[in-house]
Structure 1
Amino acid sequence: MPSILTCAIIDDEEINRLTLEHYISLTSSLKLVESMDDALQGLNYFRAGNRVDVLFLDVQMPQLNGLDLLRILPDPPIVILTTAHEDFAVDAFDLRVTDYLVKPFDYARFSRAVQRALLQHETPAPAAAPAPTIAAAAPDNDLFVKVNSKMVRINFDDVLYIEALSDYVVIVTEKQKYIVYTTMKSLDARLRFDHFVRVHRSYIINLKRIEAIEDGAAVVPGGQHVPIGKSYQEAFFGKLNRI
């Protein structure tokens, strides 16, 4: 039986809370247990011993902002940040949030964030390290990724997809995410693996890990849906015909 995640909202703008409450009501895997209008209320809520699986958290709020709340909480839940600004992405990754939704976001984007939360909840894994860079190529299907002072080898056969996020890309495997400080254009130019195909302005997918194609998206392990942009469909399906 699919997991049902309890969740809470902290956002000082009523229209944003109502939008999230509506999206949550449409999502069978989520159950809303609390909706709060400021971070201080949220701080008191968690300090009182209350727990949820997922927290939808606004960044800019009076008195205490969402990022500072996360810095205070000793053991925060899975966090999906919601903000009208992209400027907080680096701080978000430093705080190991699961996703970063830039307002206004639609239900499809919200659903992708929920899929990430479900995967993280069901398959606990080390959080992604902040802002590594791809530093060098290795033989076979590997690339080295520089994480702080350590070089980490990634087997790209294990990569499900790559998603662009502002000046970063997120390399997603079944067990871990790697936040890479580079642009999608630059990464796309360096990937020399034939089984990686650009399917959207924000996504590159590993053809070997596709389990199904439905509703204009490729489905990869964990039930995650990667959208296939209309301008990429011809090349994508042509590539599928050759594997």
Structure 2
Amino acid sequence: MSPLACVIIDDNEINRLTLERSVQRHDQLTLAASFPDAVEALAYFNAGNPADVVLLDIEMPHISGLELVQLLPEPKPAVILVTTHASFAVDAFELRVLDYLVKPVGYARFCQAIARVTEKYRTAPAPVAPEPPAPSSSDMPSDISATGTDMFVKTNGKLLRINFEDVLYIEALSTYVLLVTDKQKHIVGGTLKSIEERLPFRHFVRVHRSYIVNLHRVEAMADNMLKLGQHEVPVSRPYQEEFTQRLRAL
């Protein structure tokens, strides 16, 4: 069997380099890519780049490892989660990950996990050609429909209905934006400016070059930081006046 293409995603540089060395030592693996965060990795996968196995940290900024597993395009690669906490195991296996390694990971335990991956590929049926990558922001329809407080947005190649009263804020992430609610995060292709131009809701206002907030969900403001649920969002100087005016107009 040809070596399996491996992708590593971990925001801790030391852990990432340790995994890279383990991959390079293993004769059944080849290192395809290594990323310090899930946002860069998601762009890699959505561009149609290959991966047979992913070594994935769980606790990362912006997008957690568990969230990334759900966002990976089909056909999904084999996923091995690598984390410092055993408490995520139940959630991990509900997502059908192949293995769950607790740091620090010894090389023998690493090889045991890879053996499960190679067995999976030996017994798998003939591979199906992958679907084309998800459309980029330039391919997204400009007339996204909205009804009441609902709006359809394109996320992970699908149109999803989202109640924007549940959205706390929108954050810019490279070529994506993150819609954050109390319970979920949705990744949408495009820039913050493109999303801002199409938002039909007046109570969403830009407060920072990287953030748009839902004024209906702002609970408090102190030292130019807004509190929205369990989250805090900064208000930068260029946006303070408009934010204050829009807040008073509610």
TM-score (norm. length: structure 2): 0.51
Matched, 1:242 2:244: no
Kindly indicate whether the alpha-carbon contact (under 8 Å) linking 1:162 and 1:205 is maintained by their aligned counterparts in 2.
yes
Separation in structure 1 between the aligned mates of residue 148 and residue 16 of structure 2, nearest angstrom: 51
Q: Tell me the CA shift for residue 96 of structure 1.
A: 6.6
Q: Which amino acid aligns with 1:152?
A: L
Paired with 1:37 and 1:152, the residues of 2 have a C-alpha distance of 34
| Paired position in structure 2 for 1:71 | 54
- Give the number of aligned pairs: 155
Asked if 1:203 is matched to 2:205, the reply is no
Shift of 1:9: 7.4
Which amino acid in structure 2 is aligned with residue 79 of structure 1?
M
**Segments of 4+ moved more than 6 angstroms:** 41-44, 130-134
What is the match of residue 11 of structure 1? 13
CA distance in 1, matches of 2:219, 2:175: 29
The Cα shift of 1:78 comes to 2.1
Q: CA deviation at 1:43?
A: 6.9
Q: Which runs of 5+ in 2 are unaligned?
A: 1-9, 24-33, 38-44, 46-50, 72-87, 96-132
Q: Give, as a single letter, the amino acid of the residue that structure 2 aligns with 1:72.
A: L
Q: Say if 2:190 is the partner of 1:182.
A: yes
Deviation readout 1:157-205 (Å, 9 max, x if unpaired) = 1000001111111111111111111111111110111100010111100
Aligned residue identity for 2:149:
N
Residue 104 of structure 1 corresponds to which residue in structure 2? none
The CA distance in 1 between the partners of 2:16 and 2:171, in whole Å, is: 31
Alignment of 1:30-179 (within 5 A): 36=15, 38-40=17-19, 59=36, 71-72=54-55, 76-80=57-61, 135=141, 136-148=144-156, 150-179=158-187
Contact 2:211/2:233 (CA < 8 Å) preserved in 1?
Answer: yes
Supply the distance in 1 between the matched residues of 2:58 and 2:180 (Cα, whole angstroms).
Answer: 20
1:80 shift after superposition: 3.9
State how far apart, in whole Å, the 2-side matches of 1:211 and 1:43 are: 47
CA change 1:219–1:236 in 2 (3 A) is same
Letter of the aligned partner of 1:71 in structure 2?
Answer: V
CA contact (8 A) 1:71 1:95 kept: no
- CA distance in structure 2 between the aligned counterparts of 1:229 and 1:10, rounded to whole angstroms: 29
CA change 1:180–1:131 in 2 (3 A) is farther
Over 3 Å counting, the alpha-carbon distance change for 1:149 and 1:226 in structure 2 is: closer
Code of the aligned partner of 1:174: D
- Tell me which residue corresponds to 2:227: 219
The 3 A distance-change label for structure 1 pair 42 and 96 is: farther
Gaps of 5+ in 1: 1-7, 13-35, 45-56, 61-66, 82-88, 98-120
Offset at residue 95 of structure 1 (A): 5.1
Cα distance in 2 between the residues matched to 1:162 and 1:180: 10
* SS in structure 2 of the partner of residue 241 of structure 1: helix
Q: Hey, what's the Cα distance between the residues in 1 that align with 2:233 and 2:204?
A: 13
Report the CA distance between 1:77 and its aligned residue. 2.8
Two-structure CA RMSD over aligned residues (Å): 4.1
Greater C-alpha Rg: 2
Matched with 1:29 is none
| Structure 1 residues 152 and 9: CA distance shift in structure 2, 3 A | closer
Query: In the TM superposition, what is the alpha-carbon distance from 1:155 to its structure 2 partner?
Result: 0.6
Give 3-state SS (helix, strand or coil) of 2:147's partner.
Answer: coil
C-alpha spacing 1:96/1:231, structure 2 compared with 1 (3 Å): farther
